[in-house]
Amino acid sequence: MMKSPAKDIEFVAADPFCSSKSFMYLHGPSSCIYTVLAHIALLIMKPFPFRVNIAPKLPPDRFVIPSRKNTFPISSNPIELKSNHLAIVTGSNTGIGFETATSLAAQGYTVILACRSKQKGETAADAINHKIHQSSSNGQSGKAEFLFPLDLSSLQSVRSFAKAFHDKYSHLNILVNNAGINTTGKSIDGMDLCFQTNFVGHFLLTRLLVRPLLKAKNLYQSGDDVEAGRVVNLSSVTHHFSGCNELRKGKEHVNHSNKHNYAWWKATALPNVSNNTYTESKLAALVFTHVLNVRFGPEGLRSIAVNPGSVASDIWRHYPDYMKIIFKLIYIDQTQGAATSIAGSVGKFPQGAIYLQPYWQPFRSFKNGASNAMQSFGFGRNYKVPIPLMEMMGPFIGYAVTQPRLPLDLDRSANDLWDVSSELVGMEK
């Protein structure tokens, strides 16, 4: 009797990601049409009880500065009680990062603006301090400051910035890995410029700041829980288009495994191999978020990835002027684009939630449940993996917990990404 070969065949599930071509030819155009129709529908239905609730700018239950709260102190030491609660926001001299830093400073944090240019960083810090001090009625706001230049496309610059931080501070409450570019080339470290700037540089920065993050104490407004530091990673709707089977340059980089594995991540970091390094860097931010929670969650650290939405921000500065005008007409503004980052920095999340995005979705998830008081907005709105075109644009709701699109073998892929990134930056795995 002939033995069936079926037992010797390993079943490989289909890649769940959308193709990069579908972004340009299907989801992009369809999203524009969907957005126009959705807003027309909302205008027609405005006189009726139906409405899309926008989440409050600050989550109902969020971190508070202990020295500004008379109850639930986390320390009896008056020096520690009055010590600065610190936040770092990369790429914060402009755009979404600037808005995020402004909000955190207004809430009482000392916010370090991590930017390439000292002049631009100091100018942005002055602007933030002037703005929050004008609007502060009780004098309890924090401040923005420039510490040291940070160029994420240079590993040496990242190390120098981290050293400057360690020389002055011992703890870090919030790290927002915000900076990013959407153009590419070859970095001075020999990597793909886009992938290094958007992800590898942030990976190294986070690794170097893990100890200060674990020393932090973040107290919730409800007073029922204390966490260590919070890490916010900027992802994007484009993570849906980071398939592992996309064509790459060079036969040696063709992926035959149907997985986002060690070889795939390693090739992604190489210059002139992939045409999709922006989308792949945003998937890396999501997978990195997962692995941070797995490795450091037991010690109190929490990480969240956020999609700011389609934002008319400074990231489009290299595009033609006519394109910038179009973006301003159809995209959300920078203040709206910072909503997910701000909520991700200070909000209390349902267990297992790792991703926020800013648009209404039709398909709810029963995972990551929240309290009844939060069901109508924010973290109480839990969505399934969206149809990408409905996460590109649409009715803006502020922020909502949403299931991202992730590699099939997530834990294995996350460990592979960690190993590759550790090798690239010269750190132990």
**Catalytically active residues, by annotation:** 278
Distance CA 80, CA 108 (A): 15
Do residues 112 and 145 make contact, with C-beta atoms less than 8 angstroms apart?
yes
Q: Among 307, 323, 316, 360, which Cα is nearest to 34's?
A: 360
Do residues 142 and 111 make contact, with C-beta atoms less than 8 angstroms apart?
yes
Q: Given its phi and psi angles, is residue 132 left (phi above 0), alpha (psi -120 to 50 degrees) or beta?
A: alpha
Do residues 19 and 246 make contact, with C-beta atoms less than 8 angstroms apart?
yes
Q: What is the DSSP letter of 393?
A: S
DSSP lists the bridge partners of residue 162 as none
Q: Which two tokens stand for residue 50?
A: 């139906």
* Residue 11: partners with Cβ closer than 8 Å, 6 or more residues away: none
Q: Given its phi and psi angles, is residue 143 left (phi above 0), alpha (psi -120 to 50 degrees) or beta?
A: beta
List strand residue ranges (DSSP E) for 42-166, in order.
63-64, 86-90, 110-114, 143-145
Q: Which two tokens stand for residue 13?
A: 């599930």
Backbone angles phi, psi at 149, to 5 degrees: -60, 145
Indicate the length of the chain as a whole number. Answer: 429
Q: Among 301, 304, 172, which Cα is nearest to 226's?
A: 301
State the Rg of the chain over Cα. Answer: 22
Do residues 346 and 361 make contact, with C-beta atoms less than 8 angstroms apart?
no
Q: What is the DSSP letter of 226?
A: E
Classify each residue of 26-42 as buried b or exposed e, where b means 16 or more C-beta atoms within 10 Å of its C-beta.
ebeebbeebbeebeeee
The H or E element that residue 399 is part of is strand 396-402
